[in-house]
Amino acid sequence: MVNFEILEKSGHEQVVFCSNKESGLKAIIAIHDTTLGPAIGGTRMLKYDNEEAALNDVLRLSRGMTYKAAAAGLNFGGGKAVIIGDSATQKNELLFRTFGKFVDGLAGRYITAEDVGTDVRDMEFVRMETKYVTGISKALGGSGDPAPVTAYGVYTGMKACAKEKWGNDSLRGRKIAVQGAGAVGRYLCEHLYNEGAELFIADINQAKIKSVLETIKAYVVSPEEIYETDAEIFAPTALGAVINDKTIEKFKFEIIAGGANNQLEDEIKHGKVLLDKGILYAPDYVINSGGLINVANELEGYRQDRAMK
C-alpha cells in the first residue's frame, strides 16, 4: 500500500483514505501537485478488484490531472478521488454527502467533480456538504455535465491530428474506431457521424451501444476486436491502460486520439512503440482537457462562451 517511498517516486503531496461505516464509504483522495493552485479532478466510482487497484488508479489519474491543468493554462494542480463500489447499485445521498464532508475537510486543497460512475446529481449531494465541488447542474449555477465539452474537445483535437497527418482536417469518409459508448463516447460519435465518418464502436455494456445506435449508424465490434479493425483513427474513450503489450502489436491505426485518461500503460515504453510504428498519438491530458476547462470555468462564474473558446 501507500508509503513515503511511493509518494516521493510519483511526486504526490498527499493521499487521504476516507472510510465511514454508516454510509459504507470507502474512498481515496490523491493530491499530486499544487504548485499552480489547488488540486482539481473528478471522483470516479468503480468496483475495483482490491484496494491496491484503487490506489494505483487514483495515483495515476491525479498525476495526469496535473499535466492536464498545466497544459490547459489553468491555475490548478492535479487531484483525483476514487470511491470503491458499484455505481449501478450502491449510490445514494448519504454516501456522497459523507464523501463531501471529507472533501470539505481538506479546506480547498482539492476540488472535485463527476467522473466515470458519478454524475451531476451525485455532485449536488456532495455540494450539500462542501463548496469545493464543480459540475453541478446549471439550475444551481453550475456548468452541468462536462461530457459534451470533453467530447467536443476530443473531436476538434482529432481534426487537428488529421490535418497534421494527412494535410486536411476533414474526417468525412475516415474510418474511426471508438472504444467506449458512455457519455463522452456517445457525444463524440455524434460529432463524427455528422461529419460523415465511418464508425466502429465497442463497449462492454450493450445497453450503451444500443443507446448510441438510436441516433447514429455504426458497425458494432466486440471489445477485443476493436484493436484489430482497419480503422485509420482509434479513439480510446473508456478506461485507461488500453495501449499495452497485448494490444499495441495489433494496431493498424495511423492516429490515436481519444477521451480516456492514462491511455498508455507504460508512457515511455508504449509511447516509443507508437513512435516507431509511425502512429500519431494525441496525449490524453491535452486532447481530453475540455471537461476540466469547463468545470474550472464554473469556479469563476460559469459562462459557456468562455469555456468553449
The answer to whether residue 283 sits within a structural domain is yes
Check residue 239 and give its pLDDT. 84
Closest C-alpha to 193, from 165, 163, 173, 168? 173
| Domain shared by 183 and 209, yes or no | yes
My answer on whether 119 and 158 are in the same domain is: no
Strands 39-40 and 77-84: parallel
Does residue 35 lie in a domain region? yes
In a domain, 292, yes or no: no
Q: Which three cell numbers stand for residue 140?
A: 444551481
Q: What is the total count of domains within the chain?
A: 2
Q: Which of 183, 188, 250 is nearest to 223 (CA)?
A: 250
Instruction: Please tell me whether residues 129 and 11 are part of one structural domain.
Output: yes
CA nearest 260: which of 226, 294, 284?
284
End position of a domain, from candidates 81, 98, 133: 133
> Residues of the chain whose pLDDT is less than 50?
none
Give the active site residues: 80
Residues 152, 118 share a domain: no
Query: What's the pLDDT score for residue 307?
Result: 63
> What number of other Cβ atoms are within 10 A of residue 157's Cβ?
21
Last residue of some domain: 101, 133, 165? 133
Domain carrying residue 271 = 147-287
Domain check: are 123 and 151 in the same one?
Answer: no
pTM: 0.89
CATH of the domain at 171: 3.40.50.720
**186 and 73 belong to one structural domain:** no
